[in-house]
């Protein structure tokens, strides 16, 4: 019975450990694409192998004892039960091993904490449940939402390759430049984590945290929020696109141009006359990106925390109240002030959509001009 167990257990552990170094199998930590992530990976592997060796020695003695000193085979117990010398030895040797581990760990940590001389500074704000990226010196700012369709999450559509790890607007950074991240939160504690960079920093409301990275290889790197932050903690991923510097500069310029064009377009669109059908169509898109996670695609919400909009007092009642709650949110709840996040056209569209979808059929139309007026502009 005993030998059968050992014969089965030993190969299992050997098999498990032998393939551990192959990160492609998804078994091990990634060495990543920065010098720091490589150092972290190396530290991880050193400590891991030390533990394996210690385990083999200690468990080896145990298995040996269980085999050799069985009462059923006639073993007679020895009488010794203490030895100060032995206790000292097996206190000092582990201590020395730990000091040996602490040296590279300390130097890597000192490198990680050296945030000086950064080339680009980016402010990262965690929201319930998305990230906002703000290129401080370049006047570019945008939200990054999960873009996996609800239908995939609800098992009504086949899941894509980057299921739950894809966003509408990735963070774009140049390779070979030191990027400094300033991390904070709009509401609860979140945590920004990209395994390929070995960067994980908590986002704390009211406080700013720093981290940095310098990416060696172009590519797309995906991460997730790493601090429980409410209902959709698992649904606010991070996607970073690291590109050659010329491509980054072009992207930045395009973003700045687009921001200007969007403002212009928004004011033009605000000025232009929209039809009910067009507003509803646009509103549905906005709704699915910004509202459906809580209020659900069918408008039924998840009461009581996320009220239904279908047949609701707000969507069926006075337009001013509806506009107000979308613009300014509802304090003490998860309903955010979308007036800060969406432009007038999107706001008008989504409110119009909500008043007419799912059988609400109010026939109401809220125009971008109405929204602008409500904002006090």
- Find the binding residues for other proteins in span 311-330 (CB under 8 A): 327-330
Tell me if 119 contacts other proteins by CB under 8 A.
no
Tell me if 224 contacts other proteins by CB under 8 A.
yes
Q: Specify the stretch interacting with other proteins by CB under 8 A; choose among 168-176, 230-238, 244-252, 347-355.
A: 230-238
- What string of DSSP letters covers 91-111? HHHHHHHHHHHHHHHHHHHHH
Report in angstroms how near the CB of residue 275 gets to other proteins at its nearest.
28
Per-residue contact track with other proteins, 291 to 310, x per CB under 8 A?
-----------x-xx-----
Cβ neighbors of 325 (< 8 A, separation 6 or more) are 314, 335
Give 100 or 281: the residue with its C-beta nearer to other proteins: 100
Q: How far apart are CA 100 and CA 89, in angstroms?
A: 17
Give 132 or 367: the residue with its C-beta nearer to other proteins: 132
Q: Specify the stretch interacting with other proteins by CB under 8 A; choose among 56-64, 171-179, 239-247, 264-272.
A: 56-64
Q: How far apart are CA 328 and CA 340, in angstroms?
A: 8
Q: In the set 3, 7, 18, 82, which binds other proteins (CB under 8 A)?
A: 82
Number of residues that bind other proteins (CB under 8 A): 124
Q: How far apart are CA 198 and CA 27, in angstroms?
A: 17
Give 282 or 322: the residue with its C-beta nearer to other proteins: 322
Q: In the set 17, 38, 115, 256, which binds other proteins (CB under 8 A)?
A: 115
Contact 37, 30 (CB under 8 A): yes
Q: In the set 40, 175, 240, 342, which binds other proteins (CB under 8 A)?
A: 40
Q: How far apart are CA 176 and CA 218, in angstroms?
A: 9
Task: Provide the angle, in degrees to the nearest 10, between the axes of the packed helices 368-375 and 245-271.
Answer: 100
Q: How far apart are CA 316 and CA 338, in angstroms?
A: 20
- Contacts (CB under 8 A) with other proteins, residues 233-292: 233-235
- Contacts (CB under 8 A) with other proteins, residues 340-359: 340
- Contacts (CB under 8 A) with other proteins, residues 167-186: 182, 184, 186
- Contacts (CB under 8 A) with other proteins, residues 128-157: 134, 136-137, 152-155
- What string of DSSP letters covers 274-288? PPHHHHHHHHHHHHH
Give 108 or 216: the residue with its C-beta nearer to other proteins: 108
Report in angstroms how near the CB of residue 356 gets to other proteins at its nearest.
26
- Give the 3-state secondary structure of 359-375: CCCCCCCCCHHHHHHHH
Tell me if 7 contacts other proteins by CB under 8 A.
no
Report in angstroms how near the CB of residue 144 gets to other proteins at its nearest.
16
Tell me if 3 contacts other proteins by CB under 8 A.
no
Tell me if 189 contacts other proteins by CB under 8 A.
yes
For 195, which DSSP code? Answer: G
Q: How far does CA 124 lie from the centroid of its chain?
A: 12
Smallest CA-to-CA distance from 229 within 260, 190, 274 is with 190
């Amino acid at each position: 019975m005993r030998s059968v167990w050992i014969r089965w257990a030993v190969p299992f552990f050997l098999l498990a450990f032998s393939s551990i170094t192959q990160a492609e199998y998804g078994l091990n930590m990634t060495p990543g694409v920065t010098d720091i992530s490589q150092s972290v990976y190396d530290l991880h592997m050193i400590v891991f192998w030390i533990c394996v060796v210690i385990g083999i020695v200690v468990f080896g003695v145990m298995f040996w004892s269980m085999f050799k000193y069985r009462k059923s085979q006639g073993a007679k117990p020895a009488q010794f039960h203490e030895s100060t010398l032995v206790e000292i030895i097996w206190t000092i040797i582990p201590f020395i091993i730990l000091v040996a581990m602490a040296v590279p760990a300390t130097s890597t940590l000192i490198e990680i904490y050296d945030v000086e001389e950064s080339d680009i500074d980016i402010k990262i704000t965690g929201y319930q449940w998305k990230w906002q990226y703000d290129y401080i010196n370049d006047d570019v700012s945008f939200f990054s939402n999960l873009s996996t369709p609800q239908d995939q999450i609800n098992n009504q559509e086949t899941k894509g390759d980057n299921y739950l790890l894809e966003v509408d607007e990735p963070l774009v950074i140049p390779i070979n430049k030191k990027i400094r991240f300033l991390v904070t939160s709009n509401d609860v504690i979140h945590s920004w984590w990209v395994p390929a960079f070995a960067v994980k920093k908590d986002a704390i409301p009211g406080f700013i945290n720093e981290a940095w990275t310098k990416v060696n290889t172009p590519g797309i790197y995906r991460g997730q929020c790493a601090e429980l932050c409410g209902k959709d903690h698992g649904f606010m991923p991070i996607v970073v696109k690291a590109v050659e510097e010329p491509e980054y500069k072009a992207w930045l310029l395009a973003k700045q141009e687009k921001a200007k064009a969007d403002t212009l377009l928004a004011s033009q669109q605000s000025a232009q006359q929209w039809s009910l059908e067009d507003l509803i169509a646009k509103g549905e898109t906005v709704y699915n990106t910004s509202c459906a996670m809580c209020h659900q695609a069918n408008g039924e919400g998840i009461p009581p925390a996320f009220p239904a909009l279908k047949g609701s007092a707000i969507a069926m009642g006075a337009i001013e109240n509806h506009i107000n709650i979308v613009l300014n949110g509802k304090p003490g709840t998860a309903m955010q002030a979308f007036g800060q996040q969406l432009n007038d056209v999107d706001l008008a569209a989504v409110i119009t959509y909500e008043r007419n979808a799912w059988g609400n059929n109010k026939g109401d139309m809220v125009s971008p001009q109405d929204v602008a007026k409500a904002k006090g502009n």
